[in-house]
């Protein structure tokens, strides 16, 4: 590429490179479908030119003479009739119905079991919620009792202070039955 003195590429060279890259991308994306389309067109032209030399097809396309459901060649010799084929189809249908019914029963049993488990878990959750409510009520009562005890303790402490009690410095006198005082 042509580089300017400033170190950047020439704008014309960059444009040419981008155009080349775009054309390459278009060719990459559109090339294979166009190739196959042209190939089919050429094959169609060849077939149309060679159709005049091809003899007409000799096929037996009578839909009235052939049954809708045909029995394979080796089985239609008397050991396997259309009646036996219908019986086999009927038996296959009954087997599939039985399988479907069994599958439905298993699904119903699984659904019933899931409902039972859901009910059991719901009962356990209700018990837990009830226990939590009881516990919360007991906690609130305990907090109220504690607050009451703190108030009562504060009242007793206030009375004791009014009568001369000082915290930590005074020892109480205890008199035993024998008249001995201890400190």
- Look at residue 65 in the predicted model and tell me its pLDDT: 59
In this structure, what token pair is assigned to residue 124?
């356990």
pLDDT-based confidence at residue 79 (cuts at 50, 70, 90): low
Task: Tell me the per-residue pLDDT of 3-23, one tens digit each, with 9 for 90 and over.
Answer: 566 667 788 999 999 999 999
Given a cut of 90, whether residue 112 has pLDDT beyond it is yes
Burial letters 168-180, b for 16+ CB under 10 A, else e: eeeeeeeeeeeee
pLDDT, mean over the chain: 81
Convert 94-112 to b/e letters by CB count within 10 Å (16 or more is b): eeeeeeeeeeeeeeeeeee
Q: Does 170 have pLDDT greater than 50?
A: no
> What is the pLDDT averaged over residues 93-120?
96
Alpha carbon dihedral 50, 53, 58, 62, in 10-degree steps, equals 50
- In this prediction, residue 43 carries a pLDDT of 82
* pLDDT at position 183: 44
Q: Mind listing the pLDDT tens digit for each residue in 31-76?
A: 888 888 888 888 887 777 665 556 666 666 655 555 556 656 655 5
For the cut 70, the answer to whether the pLDDT of residue 83 exceeds it is: yes
Range picked from 63-67, 111-115, 161-165 for highest mean pLDDT: 111-115
Residue 173, C-beta contacts closer than 8 angstroms, at least 6 positions apart: 181, 182, 183
- Distance (Å, whole) CA 141 – CA 145: 6
**Residue 3, beta-bridge partner list:** 9
**175 pLDDT exceeds 50?**
no
pTM above 0.85, yes or no: no
Cβ-based neighbour number of residue 88 at 10 Å:
11
């Amino acid at each position: 590429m042509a580089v300017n003195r400033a170190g950047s590429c020439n704008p014309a060279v960059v444009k040419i490179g981008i155009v080349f890259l775009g054309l390459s991308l278009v060719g990459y994306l559109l090339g294979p479908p166009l190739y196959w389309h042209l190939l089919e067109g050429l094959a169609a032209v060849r077939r149309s030119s060679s159709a005049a030399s091809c003899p007409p097809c000799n096929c037996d396309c009578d839909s009235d003479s052939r049954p809708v459901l045909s029995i394979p060649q080796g089985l239609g010799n008397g050991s396997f009739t259309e009646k036996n084929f219908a019986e086999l189809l009927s038996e296959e249908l009954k087997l599939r119905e039985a399988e479907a019914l069994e599958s439905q029963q298993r699904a119903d049993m699984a659904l019933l079991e899931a409902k039972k488990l859901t009910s059991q878990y719901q009962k356990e959750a209700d018990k837990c919620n009830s226990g939590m409510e009881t516990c919360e009520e007991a906690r609130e009562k305990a907090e109220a009792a504690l607050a009451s005890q703190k108030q009562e303790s504060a009242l007793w402490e206030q009375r004791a202070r009014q009568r001369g009690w000082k915290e930590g410095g005074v020892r109480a006198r205890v008199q035993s039955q024998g008249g001995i005082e201890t400190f």
